[in-house]
Amino acid sequence: MTIFEKIIARQIPAKIIWEDDEAIAFHDVNPQAPVHVLIVPKRVVPRLTDATESDRALLGKLLLVASDLAKKLDLSSHRARVNLSRTADGEPLGRHLIPLDKKTRPEET
């Protein structure tokens, strides 16, 4: 079970800011920016190359949620990064999106 699956199952605590039946969004416990939110699909798709036509709506939804949360969090400008995380052993952690405030990460604008 990945760390994200454990958060979804409430086996690991998280500061959840949004959730529905298909996805969950929460603040990163080790933020790399002043605003670092993870948006994680509840259905596991380990890599984008594994995505199928049935994942189309979910993947689009994740981008819209990133936009909505950026507004809710009052980010003046933002970008969403798709992250395909892996553990040190190469095991997939899961795919997630991160809306970041460009003002707080000028080197990445």
What is the per-residue pLDDT for 9? Answer: 96
Instruction: Name the residue with higher pLDDT: 79 or 51.
Output: 51
pLDDT exceeds 80 at position 14 = yes
CATH number at residue 31: 3.30.428.10
Give the pair of three-digit tokens for residue 92: 């997939």
With CA atoms as reference, report the closest residue to 35 among 4, 81, 90: 81
Instruction: Name the residue with higher pLDDT: 86 or 73.
Output: 73
Span 17-68, pLDDT tens digits: 999 999 999 998 888 777 888 888 898 877 778 889 999 999 899 889 988 9
CA 98 vs CA 6, 8, 20, 44, 94: distances in Å: 19, 17, 17, 17, 13
Domain assignment of residue 20, given as a range = 3-108
Estimate to the nearest angstrom the gap between the alpha carbon of 40 and the chain centroid: 4
Residue 74: left if φ>0, alpha if ψ -120 to 50, beta else—which one? left
What is the per-residue pLDDT for 102? Answer: 52
pLDDT exceeds 80 at position 93 = no
Query: What single-letter amino acid sits at 67?
Result: S
What is the per-residue pLDDT for 108? Answer: 46
Domain count along the chain: 1
Query: What single-letter amino acid sits at 48?
Result: L
